[in-house]
């Protein structure tokens, strides 16, 4: 299993939100590239980048994304506002290893199939959940779709994995939902990447034991709750 430190971009800054709430910003760092390089120096090999402004239609941070891909020294998976093949192609062209597609891939089955088949094995489908219901549009819209049902729909496609974010745990430092990974691993062959609430090394061990292929870590690293060097030694490569 691989651990991926998160750089969430908002208004050109590196931020961390609590519970997916844009009014509850707990961390704001002026230089996202310096932060990414700090993660590299801890021993991580991957970076998870999300453009929060693009995801919610508030703008975009494409310039920073390109710099993070080109200059961080890390392999990068990136998402947020990827709603067409052209955007995905551009991100791959500038060096992204994986591209994350969320809302449109959930709502538009034809687009989902097109983007996955255009870039087989390199697209992660982002499924944000509250409890076990998938939510979209920057975590604001309920779909009525259970995450396990979505995973079954995705199973025949050549996706690079499912990124499942437990939004109700995001940024709360209250522990991860490893059981969610276990439930998904039972219904799909796709790699499962867990996000939301990762707080301790035990959280990471439980995600790995549940079948997780990766875990995204945000708030716990930024607040020092979790020792990045210790995580990178065990899960960074």
The two beta strands, 161-166 and 192-195, are parallel
Active site annotation includes 8: yes
CA distances from residue 169 to 96, 140, 200 in whole angstroms, order as listed: 27, 15, 14
Spatial separation of the C-alpha atoms in residues 59 and 158, rounded to whole Å:
30
Name the phi and psi angles at 91, rounded to 5.
-65, -40
Rounded CA-CA distance 159/3 in Å is 19
Residues in the chain: 237
Neighbours of 173 (CB within 10 A): 17
Residue among 8, 51, 53, 203 flagged as catalytic: 8
Query: Does residue 155 have an active-site annotation?
Result: no
Options 51, 53, 128, 177, the catalytic residue: 128
Catalytic residues: 8, 128
């Amino acid at each position: 299993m691989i651990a991926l430190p998160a750089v969430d971009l908002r208004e050109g800054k590196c931020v961390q939100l609590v519970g997916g709430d844009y009014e509850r910003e707990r961390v704001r760092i002026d230089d996202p590239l310096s932060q990414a390089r700090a993660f590299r120096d801890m021993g991580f090999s991957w970076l998870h980048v999300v453009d929060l402004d693009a995801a919610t239609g508030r703008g975009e941070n494409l310039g920073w994304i390109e710099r993070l891909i080109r200059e961080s020294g890390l392999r990068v998976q990136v998402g947020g506002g990827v709603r067409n093949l052209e955007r995905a192609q551009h991100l791959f062209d500038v060096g992204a290893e994986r591209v994350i597609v969320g809302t449109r891939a959930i709502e538009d089955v034809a687009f989902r199939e097109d983007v996955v088949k255009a870039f087989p094995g390199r697209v992660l489908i982002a499924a944000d959940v509250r409890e076990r219901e998938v939510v979209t549009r920057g975590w604001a819209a309920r779909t009525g779709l259970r995450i396990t049902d979505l995973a079954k729909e995705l199973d025949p496609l050549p996706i690079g994995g499912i990124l499942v974010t437990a939004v109700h745990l995001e940024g709360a430092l209250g522990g991860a939902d490893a059981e969610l990974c276990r439930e998904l691993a039972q219904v799909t062959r796709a790699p499962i990447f867990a996000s939301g609430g990762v707080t301790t090394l035990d959280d990471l061990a439980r995600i790995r034991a549940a079948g997780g292929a990766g875990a995204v870590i945000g708030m716990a690293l930024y607040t020092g709750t979790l020792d990045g060097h210790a995580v990178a030694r065990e899960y960074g490569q």
